[in-house]
Structure 1
Amino acid sequence: MKGRWLVVPTVAAYATRTLRVPLAGWSLTGEAQGVGPVTRRVYWIDIASPRRPETEVVTHLLQHLPEMIPPVLAAFRRVRRGGGPTGVGDRFTVLMLGVRRGRVQVVEVDPTHFRLQTLRQHSESGWIEFRSEPLVGNSYRLTVVSQVRASSWYDRATYLLGVGILQRMTWESGLRRALKVSGGRKAGHGTTTVEWP
């Protein structure tokens, strides 16, 4: 009975048109539009003896984002039709855990990083950045930085009840796939989470 009580409101909430199609358009959102504390999560992996340079791996991540993230956790799909490389202004739809729809937009791109900004109706408000930095010797670090607030108190509750763990699995899986693309070996990895009002 408890499980049914939780599933029915969830399905009803996410099946509504209001939560899927924002009334004010797909506008960018930042931490100011969210609720609760700002959460900064950092996921990183150190790669030793790579066969591909860091800039090539970062570019591959951006250009092949849907294949780099396990679709069972977060299915990315570029919105723009037609060919051409992904760049600033391009948007992705994201189906999170098979139930929650959201969108992000590419807002920054350079050889060592790219940033995605959330759009209205995403479960979080803020940004996610993929970046690389050289380390001593023939190695570099790939990092995913997420700085967001929950878009609603409902989203904050779901994050605390387990979605946060699934998010961690999503970005760590993406970094493991990036490690394979690099052709190197893992020299270290880690995760940190900091929250502030």
Structure 2
Amino acid sequence: MKEKLMRNSLLLAALAMMAYLTRTLRLPLSGWTPTGTEDGVGPLTVRQYWVDVEQTRQPGPALVGDVFQRLPTVFSSVLAVFHPARRTETPTGPGDIFTILMFGLRRGRIRVAEVAPDHFLLQTLRQHPESGTTEFRLDPLPDRVSGFRISIVSRMRSSSWIDRAGYLTGVGILQRLTWETVLRRALRLSGGRKVSHGASTHEWP
């Protein structure tokens, strides 16, 4: 009996190691360390979601700062709950870490990698289902005197082949619904009028 249990334990350990080495599974062996697209598997996927607005109540930098300080409220949805890993009274800043509970089952973390007047950048940490960055940014509308484009741009690879399969079988659609919710909330915070909106996805091997 003991020999059988030992064999089963060794088999499970070997399967887990193979899954990790082939990136079918990702384990936090290095802790919650930052991950980039080079750490993922499959194609590099660049997704952009945007809404063009004009006649806003506040200038672009003020809106970026407003959204940034309201991350848990603006970025949360029925599909993903976004909250600080450590609750403090200080304003959100570079290096802060947030936990995301996705679809009530999968937990991931991101950190604030960069903050500027026209954008902020969020980077994934190990165990997130994707590896890369998500950027919230504002750009002037080229053919208008006033107004700007609010964009969410993600540059990601799936963190494992299991995550890639999940993205292809429905997670990608749910993710799009989440980012569209974020854009609607940012539009409301701007107090402006929507001119147009859209989305695009590009993949490279």
Q: TM tier, shorter chain?
A: 0.7 to 0.9
What does 1:37-186 correspond to in 2, within 5 Å?
37-135=43-141, 136-186=144-194
Listed as ranges, the matches of 1:18-37 within 5 Å are: 22-37=28-43
Counterpart amino acid of residue 166 in structure 1: L
SS at match of 1:181: helix
2:198 aligned residue: 190
How far 1:80 moved relative to its partner?
Answer: 2.7
User: What is the rounded CA distance, in whole Å, between the counterparts of 1:172 and 1:33 in structure 2?
Assistant: 27
CA RMSD of aligned residues (A): 1.4
**C-alpha contact 2:53 2:196 (8 A) present in aligned 1:** yes
1:20–1:101 Cα contact (<8 Å) kept:
no
Asked which structure has the greater CA Rg, the reply is 2
Q: Structure 1 residues 114 and 106, CA, compared in 2 at 3 Å: closer, same or farther?
A: same
Structure 1, unpaired ranges of 5+: 1-18
Separation of aligned partners in 2, 1:70 and 1:92: 11
CA distance in 2: counterparts of 1:143 and 1:70, whole angstroms: 17
19-28 vs 126-135, which deviates more? 19-28
8 Å CA contact retained: 1:72, 1:98: no
Amino acid at match of 1:161: T
| Paired letter, 1:195 | E
CA contact (8 A) 2:94 2:113 kept: yes
1: distance between equivalents of 2:190 and 2:68?
14
Using the TM superposition, give the Cα deviation of residue 81 of structure 1 relative to its aligned residue in structure 2, in angstroms: 2.9
Partner of 1:3 in structure 2? none
- State the SS of the aligned residue for 1:106: strand
Please name the residue that 1:9 is paired with: none
The residue aligned with 1:10 is none
2:119/2:135 contact within 8 Å kept: yes
In structure 1, what is the Cα distance between the partners aligned to 2:79 and 2:56? 27
Q: TM-score, normalised by structure 2?
A: 0.84
Letter in 2 for 1:190: G
TM (norm. structure 1) is: 0.87
Tell me the amino acid that sits aligned with residue 81 of structure 1. Answer: R
Letter in 2 for 1:196: W
Q: Determine the structure 2 residue equivalent to 1:13.
A: none
How far apart are 1:20 and its partner, in Å?
A: 9.8
Q: Secondary structure at the match of 2:57?
A: coil
